[in-house]
A and B are shown apart, each in its own frame.
Chain A
Amino acid sequence: MRRGTEATLALLAAAGLLAAAWAAPWLKFVLTIALAKGIAVLGILLLLRAGQVSFGHALFLASGAYAVAFLAPAAPEALLLLPAAALLAGLLGLVVGLFVVRYRDIFFGMLNLAISMVLYSLLEKLYELTRGTDGIRVEPPRVAGFALTLETYVWAMLVLALVLAVGFGAFVRAYLGSPMGQALAGIKTRETRLEFMGVSARRVLLAAYVLSAVMGGVAGAIVGMTTRHVTPLLAYWTSSGELVFIAILGGAGGALGPFLGAAAYELVRVYAAASFADAWQAILGTVLLLVILFAPGGLWGVISGLLGRRAGRAA
């Protein structure tokens, strides 16, 4: 897809999203969460480029959300909480990353899972600190110094999430096109060659891992400030699986895929949970199977296929 086309699509999507939120106010919450998850999935996308899948990235999302929960009483300002959550998640990503980048494929995926479960059980068991499964309530922080009414606050969160989504989307797009991003793809196809080019494959993967952790942390901060209630469930391994699910659903091709996937995922989830309370997970699972078996390029693949066909006909 050409750069101009993708930028136009992104702008159209952003405008469409704001219009939808205007027309149906209840959508604001769902869309904010979808944008946040899309940001986390951008990070997953970086690792997928190296052929690696983390089944534990909810670790970083949860750490961002809990960072907000812990820091909000002391620093009730969204524009401070966000970078703080990003920093914390990035540091955590560095520590965990130093360990997991030594592994590939199934080991990489499942070790991430196991480590995220350590955080999950700590959040659940250290009741004194985290209030266990009850979770922590988050008071709405100020935004850029203003104490907002609830209605305005919800709008502010949506716009904030949108701005961050566009920013991280553009960043990830550029990163994937750069030598560091292309070397990630090299890890997938010929890791030995990278070493014989004088490049440390582990460091290439570590850089992507830390970036993905930062994006997870930012996503978590938005989720924490939007849901205003954080629980250990955010770190449970099934939440990580959800992020990978969204990545595949959206399609790993472009930076728009994660947001497309996240929006579709959240909307299906909201509808399925309302209509089939006991079976929404099974419905999502079925969708995932269908996508993998019949539309391996994901939603983004379907859309760019359609656009490509039209462009081909025009030319």
Chain B
Amino acid sequence: MSGALLEARGLRLAFGGVKAADGIDLDVLRGEFLAIIGPNGAGKTTFLNMTTGYLRPQAGTIAYEGESILGLAPRAIVRRGIGRSFQLPQLFTEHTVLENIALAIAAREGLWSPLAPLLRHRWREEAMEILGRFGLAALAEARADALNEGARKLTDIAMAVALNPRLLLMDEPTSGVAAAEKMAIVETLVRVLREAGVTAVFVEHDMDVVERFADRVAVWSQGRIAALGPPGQVLSDPAVQREVIGIERHA
């Protein structure tokens, strides 16, 4: 199998006068890691929100595996195999890390069997195995609201991975993470996602991460894609450097 897993065509969405998406055309290829970069307010998160059904575009189409997913609720899109992690980790703060993952596994299986305990053998095993892959096993019993930012981000992504997605959309997986931790987290992510054969789209501000992680880079600017291609080529483009990287390095 090759070709596009996700095809977006002519996506438009404006909030008041601000055009968050002004004609987005993008193919996400099977198995690739695609980075989305661009200044704040360029519409990067809006693209993720439209793809996951949280926002509905005013025009355009989105197809996943050749079928339109336009107008589906977020949970229907998730069930088709599109996972999502968040800029601000969306964890169940009163639960432990292990329970967070186990709940995601149970959700994948439809959440039924109402009287079996959440931490029954099978779900606990699988949750521990996932946490092991992310290097989080030691934190399994910690409450989700007691984690540092790096662990919160990884748990958030691990929850999305526990749903067995084929496409994973990540919103700034390394923002807020201490610089010393950053590359280690990226290494973990690359390894886990490659092993699982997951296609990934991620919004990122750190160009070192982009270079290390991405197969292709899409540059967002005022609701449009200003450039698209391999990192080496796109990141060396003077216009991109001026408009995107300059600003970001400043910030």
Contact residues of A with B, CB < 8 Å? 171, 174-175, 177-183, 185-186, 188-190, 192-200, 204, 207
Contact = CB atoms under 8 A, between A and B. Distances in A.
Interface of A is mostly: helix
A190 B107 contact: no
Contact of A196 (B78, B94, B112): B78
B104 interface: yes
A138 B80 CA distance: 55
B92 interface: yes
Interface in B91-146: 91-95, 99, 102-104, 106-108, 111-118
A178 B113 contact: yes
A183 B73 CA distance: 19
B94 A197 contact: no
Contacts of A193: 90-92, 159
B45 interface: no
Chain B: number of interface residues, binned into ranges: 20 to 34
Contact of A197 (B76, B78, B93): B78
27 contacts: A171-B115, A175-B114, A175-B115, A178-B113, A178-B117, A178-B118, A180-B114, A181-B114, A182-B99, A183-B106, A189-B94, A189-B95, A190-B90, A190-B91, A190-B93, A195-B74, A196-B84, A197-B75, A197-B78, A197-B103, A197-B104, A198-B78, A199-B75, A199-B107, A199-B111, A200-B75, A207-B114
Interface of B: 52, 73-76, 78-79, 84, 90-95, 99, 102-104, 106-108, 111-118, 159-160, 163
Contacts of B75: 195-200
Closest 4 pairs (CB-CB, A-B)? A179-B106, A197-B107, A193-B90, A198-B78
A100 B221 CA distance: 43
Contacts of A183: 103, 106-107, 111
Given A182-B95, A182-B103, A186-B92, A197 B115 contact: no
A243 B161 CA distance: 41
A193 B52 CA distance: 12
A188 B95 CA distance: 11
A219 B114 CA distance: 22
A245 to B, nearest CB: 24
A185 B111 contact: no
Q: Which of B75, B76, B160 has the most CB of A within 10 A?
A: B75
A195 B163 CA distance: 12
Nearest to A179: B106
B183 to A, nearest CB: 27
Given A178-B118, A182-B95, A185-B92, A194 B113 contact: no
A194 B92 CA distance: 9
A109 to B, nearest CB: 21
Nearest to A211: B114
Given A197-B107, A200-B75, 20 more contacts: A175-B115, A177-B117, A178-B114, A178-B115, A178-B118, A179-B106, A180-B112, A180-B114, A182-B99, A183-B107, A189-B93, A190-B92, A192-B90, A194-B107, A196-B84, A196-B160, A197-B104, A197-B108, A198-B75, A199-B111
A196 B90 CA distance: 10
A263 B106 CA distance: 37
A308 B102 CA distance: 28
B138 to A, nearest CB: 22
Given A189-B94, A197-B107, A182 B78 contact: no
Contact of A179 (B76, B90, B93, B113): B113
